[in-house]
Structure 1
Amino acid sequence: MDDEPMWAADRVVAPTPSSAITIPETKNEFTIKGNHLSLFKGNQFDGRIKTNPHKHIREFLGICDMFKYRDTKNEAVRLMMFPLSLTGEAKTWLDELNEGTIETWDELRTTFITQFFPPSSF
């Protein structure tokens, strides 16, 4: 029994959760360059009370609009990149949404703003 490989043992493997965001199919595959990624990572939203989700969205869109990815629509890029702009509580919030909850940029933006700037905070 001790000579069996580790992967042969009976064990339960938890499935990898799928994303709440459904990414639309793109005509061509494309690569996000490292310097583009660093811009998104440098503008992360953590979900804390004193952070402004409207400002985050404005800055996120500004970064997205700097780059064009051939035949890929901006909406697909936004949906793919937005999770990388979140950290802490905000990332946890997105990770805990049900699979396939969000299908468009407008849905993502509205859900995000409602979560982190609810009408009750006016």
Structure 2
Amino acid sequence: MDDEPMWAADHVVAPTPGSAITIPETANKFAIKGNHLTIVKGNQFNGRTKTDPHKHIHEFLGICDMFKYGDTENEAVLLMMFLLSLTGEEKTWLDELNEGTIETWDEL
């Protein structure tokens, strides 16, 4: 039971062609550093029953708070990095949302 996903995966997966997350235009003014990507990917959430989504969000926000990209708002960094913090069924869930569904961190 530990390996069961939090949501039933017995349906046909039809990924959305574009991203559900709309990245703010300010994101074009900087690039995420490779070591920051590695840290986020090392703390991925897979949605298994023994994992805590609230803890994942708390840790994700803590990691992203360490990153500073000049005058860029932290929200742009959060939106860009969040997809990389998911794996497995959780990433599939996000990929299945309609393109442009999420425009702010609060919506996410």
> TM-score with structure 1 length normalisation?
0.72
Give, in whole Å, the separation in 2 of the partners of 1:28 and 1:99: 19
Larger Rg: 1
Give, in whole Å, the separation in 2 of the partners of 1:84 and 1:27: 16
Q: Do residues 76 (structure 1) and 107 (structure 2) align?
A: no
| Alpha-carbon distance, 1:31 to partner | 1.5
Structure 1 consecutive aligned stretches of length 4 or more whose deviation exceeds 4 Å: none
Task: List per-residue Cα deviations over 1:61-106 (Å, max 9, x = no partner).
Answer: 0010001101110001000000000000000000000111111101
State the percentage of identical aligned residues.
83
| Alpha-carbon distance, 1:27 to partner | 7.2
Change (3 A) 1:28 1:88: closer
| Partner SS for 1:105 | coil
| Alpha-carbon distance, 1:28 to partner | 5.7
> TM-score with structure 2 length normalisation?
0.81
- Tell me the number of residue pairs that the alignment of Structure 1 and Structure 2 aligns: 93
Query: Any stretches of 5+ residues in structure 1 without a counterpart?
Result: 1-15, 109-122
- Pairs within 5 Å for 1:78-93: 78-93=78-93
Which residue number in structure 1 is paired with residue 39 of structure 2?
Answer: 39
Q: Do residues 56 (structure 1) and 56 (structure 2) align?
A: yes
Which residue number in structure 2 is paired with residue 106 of structure 1?
Answer: 106
| Higher relative contact order (CA closer than 8 Å, sequence separation 6+) | 2
